[in-house]
């Protein structure tokens, strides 16, 4: 009997969400439509159908360059982020309560602070007159300031620092979910610490690693702020291209096509990553 | 005081039949234990009576059909397995919850709550929160809360399973006394056969969505109708045999190994029929090979295992054809592993099982 | 808990913490500079640039717009999320998983793509630059977070509590409001805070829809692209302050939620 008999109530409850999500899907479908519309000059969109926008994107090494740079940068930054994130997560896991609360506070502050602010803060550190160069110069380690700002290295440093919290949280969660007796059991069977780490802890935290990597990769692949602030136009990625085409050249059809490519590429990589992690995650 | 009539109730989830046309009458003021292994449908039966599960068939209370009445209008008290105390309300507020919904005057609520706190000896815990209570105390609060609204029927869903053994036995006595004092028709769902036998006026044994047997505790223990009931309630040694002839009050039959045994007579049987019968461990009689044995059987065996249980001992014996039986003896005659033994029983303690 | 083998992890851990903390410390330090240079350590302690913010109508207007958007979209998306949660956990019907997947789908679409899709749609409708379009965008962005958090809070809350309330005479709605809602409210509040922050800091999608009024992240981005004096640091530090206070006050509660992987 209960309350589940009339379908009217759930429909009513879902209606507002349906409007919001429905509008989201509506915008996505309009974008698909615009991506195959002819561009008739700035802010002029034709009525017909054309594949020109996609041909323009895939036919040009200039445009493809944005895509490949994004894929490559995101790939190695995610890898570094994963190693650093795991280290930090393991550190948190092994720490006592007080350190854990302190680190938790710092990470949550990062998490709740706008990317723009965190990226800007990184800029203040690695800039030409930033504290990094000033202290290295002061210590006599380098003779000329390091050129980090407006280089790929600078962008990579920024992406790693900004996305590190995303990596740490899921890994800590999966570390916490390992029953402590499992480690003791492994040790009692004669496994060394290193061996326990690689054969017990890492496999059991694979779901956390997978979650972190997928989120961070998706975030880094489509970064806008970090290349914008730390790359200064020299290290633009695919999101910067889309924005420039849409808002500066007013070429909506091309920007829509580039956005579609971005969506499909990110969807595909996430799919492949998930498939990969399903293979390497032990079944439980 | 209410009579509950459950008629042909069936419940299925998808293609899984959880209750299969179950019919049951709960007499006024009686304590009925619904007993069965997990997944037998006993909790579903309770949820049907409470109105939380969709079903076909009918539930009547005092002759009135309840099938179309939603749970909140049924006035049936429930004590859940996890007690389901409202964690954000004090003991007092938990008990008063149902009364407040009934627009009863503040003074009357106060009086009723105090009365229940007294009845369940919770006076000192009045303003505590559930997280500050022990398991036994939570249990009492849950019962007080359910009784506060003067329900027609009280349903208890394995309410003792979360308690440790000693507390559980204390609560059994308390629960039974309380139920008799209040005189409320009560359904008690449990998987613990000792609990069911100790508490109930009537035991309902369930298996795979069906009712296997209904009877008083001594009936279901002494006269189980099926092998399932015999196995589930208490321990039993089940034998296969072929009937030979009847002889006075007993039946003579042959075991698989050819030994002739005598069992209690029951119902219509014919010669040559394959049957199962069982003997409870405490009814097996053990003696040394040369001593006189009981009248029912004289089966040679070897002691394989002895379990000391304080007030008694259970002896595991291997008979011919590797068949294992268990005997319970009160005073040990010093059986040791490897001893040769003769296992017997009195013919009227060996009962035929219906299949 | 620390064995000698782990000393390397310990050192690396503290180094990483330092790497995460330094930029924020530098940010606050720079904002205190008395001069126009963005230098750390500051060459003195001055609140000059904080007072200076009062004259910057661009920042103030952007902060206003951002707060309106964040508060509005938090209220709307938490309410919608609660309704979704009730529908999906308290009623029986077909296709619940599909519905949840659809509601969560904006999460896997990159922000730049969401922004682009809104831009082309709204410019087609002729209403790009308006509070309404930004509000709608922020609801789309925040709803997956609130819906997910509310659904998981409601799904894990014990049904027997609600059933107990019903058996005592409460209607299903009353049982939900007086028993379940108070119990899941920490989860709902956490979801609301998360929605607020998500809306407040959104830049990539919002920048497609701003007009002569911008949101704070967009204003800050444009400022640090073109200027190199400390007001941006002062404003950023000012925004950081409530976050830090909040985290200090509620640290235990938040850390518990974060590390349990619930957000």
Are the beta carbons of C161 and B84 separated by less than 8 Å? Answer: yes
The pLDDT-based confidence of B209 (bands split at 50, 70, 90) is very high
Give how far A9 is from chain B: nearest CA, Å. 16
C169, B145: Cβ pair inside 8 Å? no
Report yes or no: C168 at the B interface, CB cutoff 8 Å.
yes
Asked whether the beta carbons of residue B53 and residue A3 sit closer than 8 angstroms, the reply is: no
- Please, which pLDDT band fits residue B129 given cuts at 50, 70 and 90? very high
Question: Are B51 and A3 within 8 A, CB to CB?
Answer: no
What are chain A's partners, defined as 3 or more CB pairs within 8 angstroms? B, C
Which residue out of B70, B73, B76 would a mutagenesis test of the A interface target, given it has the greatest number of A Cβ atoms within 10 Å?
A: B70
Q: In terms of CA atoms, which chain A residue is nearest residue C88? A: A10
pLDDT of residue A65 exceeding 80, the answer is yes
Distance from CA of B318 to the nearest CA of C (A): 48
The string of pLDDT tens digits covering residues C108-166 is 999 999 999 999 999 988 887 789 999 999 999 999 999 999 999 999 888 889 999 99
Query: What average pLDDT score do residues B323-350 get?
Result: 86
Q: What is the pTM of this model?
A: 0.84
pLDDT (0 to 100) of residue A98: 83
> What is the interface size between A and B, counted as CB pairs within 8 Å?
16
Q: Model ipTM?
A: 0.92
Interface test with C, best of A94, A107, A112 (most C CBs within 10 A): A112
Torsion of CA C68, C69, C70, C75, to 10 degrees: 90
How high is the mean pLDDT of chain B? Answer: 90
- For chain A, give the DSSP string: --S-S-SHHHHHHHHHHHHHHHHHHHHHHHHHHHHTSPB-STT-B-SS--SHHHHHHHT-HHHHHHHHHHHHHHHHHHHHHHHHHHHHHHHHHHS-HHHHHHHHHHHHHHHHS-HHHHHHHHHHHHSTTSHHHHHHHHTTS-SS----TTSHHHHHHHHHHHHHHHHHHHHHHHHHTS-HHHHHHHHHTT--HHHHIIIIIHHHTHHHHHHHHHHHHHHHHT--HHHHHHHTTSS--HHHHHHHHHHTS--HHHHHHHHHHHHHHHHHHHHHHHHHHHHHSPP-
The answer to the question of residue C125 being in a domain is yes
- What confidence score (pLDDT) does residue B355 get? 62
The pLDDT value recorded for residue C263 is 40
Q: Do A117 and C236 touch (CB under 8 A)?
A: yes
Interface of A with B (CB under 8 A): 1-3
What would the pLDDT profile of B31-88 be if each residue is shown by its tens digit?
A: 999 999 988 999 999 999 999 998 999 999 999 999 999 999 999 999 999 899 999 9
Q: Domain B237-353 classified CATH 2.40.50.140?
A: yes
Q: How far is A18 from chain B (nearest CA, A)?
A: 28
Does residue C37 form part of some domain? Answer: no
pLDDT score at A4: 45
B72, B82, B87 member nearest C166 (Cβ): B72
CA closest to A5 among chain B residues: B54
How far C159 CA sits from the closest chain B CA (Å)? 9
Residues of B in contact with A1 (CB under 8 A): 51-54, 67-71
For chain A, the average pLDDT equals: 91
Return the pLDDT at C256: 61
For residue C253, what pLDDT is reported?
Answer: 67
In a domain, C48, yes or no: no
Q: What is the mean pLDDT of the segment spanning A263-274?
A: 94
Whether the CB of C183 is below 8 Å from some CB of chain B: the reply is: yes
Tell whether B71 is within 8 A of chain A (Cβ): yes
Q: Does A195 touch chain C (CB under 8 A)?
A: no
**Distance to chain C for A77, nearest Cα, Å:** 15
Give the confidence band of A7 by pLDDT, cuts at 50, 70, 90: low
Confidence of residue A189 (pLDDT cuts 50, 70, 90): confident
pLDDT at B13: 86
Q: Is residue C192 in a domain?
A: yes
Q: Which of A71-75, B196-200, C102-106 has the lowest mean pLDDT?
A: B196-200
Q: Do A228 and C225 touch (CB under 8 A)?
A: yes
Q: What per-residue confidence (pLDDT) applies to A197? A: 87
What confidence score (pLDDT) does residue A3 get? Answer: 45
Whether the CB of A229 is below 8 Å from some CB of chain C: the reply is: yes
CATH of the domain at C248: 1.10.3720.10
| DSSP secondary structure letters along A132-199 | HHHHHHHTTS-SS----TTSHHHHHHHHHHHHHHHHHHHHHHHHHTS-HHHHHHHHHTT--HHHHIII
Among candidates C27, C77, C112 on the partner chain, residue whose Cβ is nearest the Cβ of A239? C112
Interface of A with C in 111-130 (CB under 8 A): 111-118, 120-125, 127, 129-130
Q: Which chain C residue has its CA at the smallest distance from A85's CA?
A: C16
Q: Which chain B residues have any C-beta within 8 angstroms of a chain C C-beta?
A: 50, 52, 70-78, 80-82, 84-88, 97-98, 101-102, 145-146, 148-149, 151
Dist CA B161 CA B314 (whole Å) = 26
Q: Give the per-residue pLDDT at C261.
A: 45
Residue of B nearest to C159 (CA): B84
Each residue of A127-163: pLDDT tens digit?
Answer: 888 889 888 988 888 888 888 899 999 999 999 999 9
Instruction: Evaluate if residue C20 carries a pLDDT over 80.
Output: yes
Q: Which residues contact B93 (CB under 8 A, 6 or more apart)?
A: B86
CB atoms B84 and C164 under 8 Å = yes
Q: How far is B68 from C102, CA to CA, in rounded Å? A: 35
- Confidence tier at B294 by pLDDT (50, 70, 90): confident
Q: Which of A131-135, B87-91, B225-229 has the highest mean pLDDT?
A: B87-91
Which tokens sit at B72?
């909140």
Chain mean pLDDT for chain C = 89
What is the pLDDT, as a whole number, of residue A183? 81
**Which residues from C are below 8 Å from A193, CB to CB?**
3, 5-6
What is residue C28's predicted lDDT score, i.e. its pLDDT? 94
* Bigger pLDDT: A217 vs B352: A217
Residue C262: pLDDT band with limits 50, 70, 90: very low
Sign of CA dihedral A55, A59, A60, A63: positive
Q: Is A202 at the interface with chain C, CB within 8 A?
A: no
Q: Which chains touch C (3 or more CB pairs under 8 A)?
A: A, B
User: Is B118 in a helix, a strand, or coil?
Assistant: helix
Give the integer Cα–Cα distance in Å for B281 and B237: 7
Tens-digit pLDDT profile for residues B300-319: 899 999 988 888 888 999 99
Neighbours of C217 (CB within 10 A): 24
Contacts of A2 in chain B (CB under 8 A): 51-54, 70-71
Residue C168, domain member (yes or no): yes
Who's near C92: CB < 8 A, 6+ residues apart?
A2, A4
Domain count, chain C: 1
Domain residue ranges in chain B: 4-224, 237-353
C-alpha to C-alpha distance for B125 and B137, rounded to whole angstroms: 9
CATH architecture type of domain B4-224: 3-Layer(aba) Sandwich (3.40)
Domain of C74, in residue numbers: 57-259
pLDDT tens figures, C60-105: 999 999 999 999 999 999 999 999 999 999 888 888 999 999 999 9
Class of the CATH-defined domain A55-280: mainly alpha
Query: Which chain C residue shows the shortest CA-CA distance from B96?
Result: C168
Q: What is the pLDDT of residue A2?
A: 40
Is residue B122 within 8 Å of B16, Cβ to Cβ? Answer: no
Q: How far apart are CA B259 and CA B342, in angstroms?
A: 13
* C-chain residues near B85 (CB < 8 A): 164
């Amino acid at each position: 009997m209960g309350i589940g008999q009339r379908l009217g109530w759930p429909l009513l409850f879902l209606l507002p969400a349906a409007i919001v999500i429905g509008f989201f899907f509506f915008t996505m479908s309009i974008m698909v439509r615009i991506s195959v519309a002819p561009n008739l000059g700035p802010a002029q969109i034709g009525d017909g159908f054309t594949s020109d926008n996609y041909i323009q994107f895939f036919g040009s090494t200039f445009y493809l360059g944005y895509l490949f740079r994004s894929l490559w940068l995101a790939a190695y930054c995610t890898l570094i982020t994963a190693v650093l994130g795991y280290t930090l997560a393991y550190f948190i896991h092994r720490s006592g309560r007080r350190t854990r609360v302190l680190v938790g506070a710092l990470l949550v502050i990062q998490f709740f602070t706008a990317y723009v602010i965190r990226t800007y803060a990184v800029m203040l550190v690695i800039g030409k007159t930033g504290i990094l160069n000033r202290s290295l110069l002061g210590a006599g380690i380098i003779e000329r300031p390091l050129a980090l700002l407006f280089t790929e290295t600078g962008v990579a440093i920024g992406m790693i620092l900004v996305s590190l919290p995303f990596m740490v949280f899921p890994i800590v969660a999966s570390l916490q979910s390992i029953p402590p007796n499992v480690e003791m059991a492994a040790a009692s069977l004669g496994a060394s610490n290193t061996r326990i780490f690689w054969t017990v802890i890492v496999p059991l935290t694979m779901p956390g690693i997978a979650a972190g990597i997928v989120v961070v990769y998706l975030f880094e692949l489509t970064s806008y702020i970090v290349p914008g602030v730390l790359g200064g136009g020299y290290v633009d990625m695919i999101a910067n291209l889309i924005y420039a085409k849409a808002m500066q050249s007013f070429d909506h059809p091309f920007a829509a096509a580039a956005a579609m490519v971005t969506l499909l590429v990110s969807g595909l990589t996430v799919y492949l990553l998930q498939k990969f992690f399903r293979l390497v995650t032990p079944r439980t | 005081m209410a009579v509950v009539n459950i008629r042909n109730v069936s419940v299925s989830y998808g293609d899984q039949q959880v209750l299969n046309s179950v019919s049951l009458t709960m007499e006024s003021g009686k304590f009925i234990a619904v007993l069965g292994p997990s997944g037998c449908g006993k909790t579903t039966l309770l949820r049907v009576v409470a109105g939380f599960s969709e079903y076909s068939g009918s539930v009547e209370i005092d002759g009135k059909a309840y099938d179309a009445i939603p749970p909140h209008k049924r006035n049936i008290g429930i004590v859940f397995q996890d007690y389901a105390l409202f964690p954000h309300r004090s003991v007092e507020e938990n008990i008063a919850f149902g009364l407040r919904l009934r627009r009863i005057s503040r003074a009357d609520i106060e009086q009723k709550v105090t009365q229940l706190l007294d009845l369940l000896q919770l006076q000192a815990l009045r303003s505590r929160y559930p997280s500050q209570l022990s398991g036994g105390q939570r249990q009492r609060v849950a019962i007080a809360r359910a009784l506060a609204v003067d329900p027609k029927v009280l349903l208890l869903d394995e309410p003792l399973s979360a308690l440790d053994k000693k507390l559980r036995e204390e609560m059994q006595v308390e629960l039974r006394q309380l139920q008799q004092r209040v005189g409320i028709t009560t359904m008690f769902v449990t998987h613990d056969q000792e609990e069911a036998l100790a508490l109930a006026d009537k035991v309902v044994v369930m298996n795979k969505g069906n009712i296997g047997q209904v009877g008083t505790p001594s009936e279901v223990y002494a006269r189980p109708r099926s092998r399932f009931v015999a196995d589930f309630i208490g321990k039993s040694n089940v034998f296969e045999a072929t009937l030979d002839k009847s002889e006075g009050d007993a039946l003579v039959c042959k075991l698989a190994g050819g030994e002739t045994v005598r069992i209690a007579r029951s119902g219509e049987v014919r010669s040559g029929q394959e049957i199962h019968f069982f003997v409870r461990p405490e009814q097996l009689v053990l003696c040394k090979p040369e001593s006189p044995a009981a009248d029912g059987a004289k089966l040679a065996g070897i002691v394989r295992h002895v379990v000391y249980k304080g007030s008694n001992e259970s002896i595991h014996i291997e008979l011919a054809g590797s068949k294992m039986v268990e005997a319970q003896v009160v005073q040990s005659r010093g059986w040791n592993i490897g001893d040769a033994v003769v296992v017997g029983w009195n013919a009227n303690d060996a009962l035929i099982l219906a299949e | 808990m620390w064995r000698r083998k782990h000393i390397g992890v310990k050192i690396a851990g503290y180094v990483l913490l330092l790497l995460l903390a330094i930029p924020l410390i530098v940010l606050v330090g720079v904002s205190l500079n008395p001069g126009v240079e963005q230098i750390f350590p500051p060459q003195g302690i001055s609140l000059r640039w904080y007072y200076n913010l009062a004259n910057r109508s661009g920042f103030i207007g952007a902060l206003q717009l951002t707060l309106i958007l964040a508060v509005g979209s938090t209220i709307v998306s938490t309410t919608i999320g609660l309704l979704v949660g009730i529908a999906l956990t308290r009623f029986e019907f077909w296709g619940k998983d599909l519905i949840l997947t659809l509601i969560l789908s904006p999460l896997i679409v990159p922000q730049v793509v969401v922004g682009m899709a809104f831009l082309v749609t709204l410019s087609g409708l002729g209403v790009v630059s308006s509070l309404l379009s930004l509000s709608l965008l922020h609801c789309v962005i925040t709803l997956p977070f609130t819906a997910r958090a509310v659904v998981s809070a409601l799904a894990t809350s014990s049904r027997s509590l609600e059933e107990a309330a019903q058996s005592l005479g409460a209607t299903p709605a009353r049982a939900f409001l007086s028993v379940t809602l108070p119990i899941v409210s920490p989860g709902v509040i956490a979801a609301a805070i998360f929605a607020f922050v998500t809306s407040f800091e959104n830049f990539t999608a919002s920048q497609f829809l701003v007009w002569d009024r911008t949101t704070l992240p967009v204003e800050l981005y444009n400022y640090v692209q073109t200027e190199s004096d400390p007001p941006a640091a002062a404003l950023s530090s000012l925004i950081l302050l409530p976050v830090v206070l909040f985290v200090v006050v509620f640290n235990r509660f938040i850390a518990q939620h974060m590390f349990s992987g619930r957000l």
